[in-house]
Amino acid sequence: MGQSLDLTFRLPRVATWSTMTEALARAGLRWSGGNGTIIDYYQWQRESGPVEVGANIHHEPMGDNQRADLPSSFMIVFLDDKDFPEDGMIEARRELLREFLLLGEKIWGILAPEEGNLAPEESGPFLGRIIAPSEKDVMICVRQTYAVFINPEIQHRFNIPACLDSMHPRPKTKAIANGGLLIVWDDSPEGVARFFSESWG
């Protein structure tokens, strides 16, 4: 498999494999293979037809600049780059991102995570784990992710409205379940082309 596009959520509790399988079933994914220990595979029904995605749960060690009082349980749903629309098909790639975020909204509503992001494989930072919040951390998210999901506590700690007002073009925001906020940094055709070119070359 090549580098994947990851939809990753940090959960406010230690998650189990059954947590993931139950949530993904409720989100409309159909299990298609795996052994329940490393990676399971699911059929995701896109508007254009079914696509296989992988999913797993893992627990990560805390870094030096991360809050030790927060759990480090992550759920990842990923799409391999072989299933991306071809280079130059910007609108098709834009639609893929839009549909993947809609799947993310379903998972957010089911599991009530602390935060999440849509980013290239293992590259998306998590604001809620930062000890000393700053606008610099938000800008790192802008550079390394396509979109983020954040809960009310993170919105407040990072003064997200002020951060967004200082950006041009201003990111798109959407209120989602559990008081959450979905931020898409730049979903214009130019922004989508830049995201894929910088992440996958």
Burial of residue 136 (CB within 10 Å: 0-12, 13-18, 19+) is exposed
Per residue in 4-44, pLDDT (tens digit) is 999 999 997 778 899 999 999 999 999 999 987 789 999 99
Cis peptide before 71 (omega within 30 of 0): no
Residue 173 has pLDDT above 50, yes or no: yes
Which run of H or of E encompasses 58?
strand 49-59
- Judge if pTM exceeds 0.85: yes
Nearest residue to 111 via CA among 44, 21, 194: 21
Per residue in 45-55, pLDDT (tens digit) is 999 999 999 99
Which run of H or of E encompasses 102?
helix 90-111
